[in-house]
Structures are given as structure tokens and as C-alpha cells.
Amino acid sequence: MPIEIIKYLCQFKCGTKAKSTLSQIILHEKLCFKNPERKACTTCKHEVYEYDGCDHPELAGAPSESWMNRSCKKINHDEFEKLWAACDFHSKPKFHIQPVVNCQYHELKK
């Protein structure tokens, strides 16, 4: 006998896993960086998000390290860093730099 399972996806197509209840996905969507109402870098036309990295031939095994850089075409680096530091969702270093939210310079991507 087949069993029907209902799951809910984010309307902003951010890639988050499907949730089992509507209330869970509503809560996620309020916090989603792809939600235009949050005025986050990910929905702004001024966002700069680039891959960077470097090699370390001076170390044993010549390891490489890589990371993502996030900045803004509209404001200078120091002001962007202040805005980013003021966001309260940073918990630990990550490969991907979290976007600024509620940015006064936000202009929606087309």
C-alpha cells in the first residue's frame, strides 16, 4: 500500500531541505537569505561574491586553501565589514561568508 508524504520547499529556491510541516518552512522563509524582504546581499544587484585561494609551497605537501569573498559594489570595504560585523548570525568561520541583511544600500537584482 503506497504512503503519501507531504513535504514543503522554500518558495525562494534557496536549496534548503524540504520540511515536514508548513510552520517549519514559514519560519525558514522569514530567515532565508534569498527572501527579498530581508534585504540581504544574495538578492542585491551590488553583491560581489568571488572564489579565492592560495597555494602554500613553503609548507610540507604544498597544501592549497580556498575561500569565498563577499563585498559590495556600492560601498567601500571598511563600511561593508562594519555592516557585516553588525549582523548577529555569525557563529563560526565558514567557507562561505554569510551575507549582510537589512542593508540600507540594497537594490533588488532583476
pLDDT of the residue at 12 = 97
Whole-number pLDDT of residue 92: 57
Residues 2 and 47 in one domain: no
Which pLDDT score, from 0 to 100, does residue 85 have?
80
The number of CA neighbours under 13 Å toward the Cβ of 101 is 14
Residues paired with 69 in a beta bridge: 50
pLDDT of residue 91: 60
Do 55 and 99 belong together in one domain? yes
DSSP state, residue 37 = G
Q: Are residues 19 and 61 in the same domain?
A: no
29: Cα within 13 Å, side-chain hemisphere: 14
Residue the block writes with cell 604544498:
62
Q: Name the pTM for this structure.
A: 0.75
Domain hosting residue 80, numbered range: 41-110
Q: Tell me what pLDDT residue 51 has.
A: 87
Strand, helix or coil for residue 24 = helix
* Same domain assignment for residues 71 and 110: yes
Q: What is the mean pLDDT of each run of 10 residues along the chain (110 residues)?
A: 95 95 97 96 95 89 86 91 76 72 93
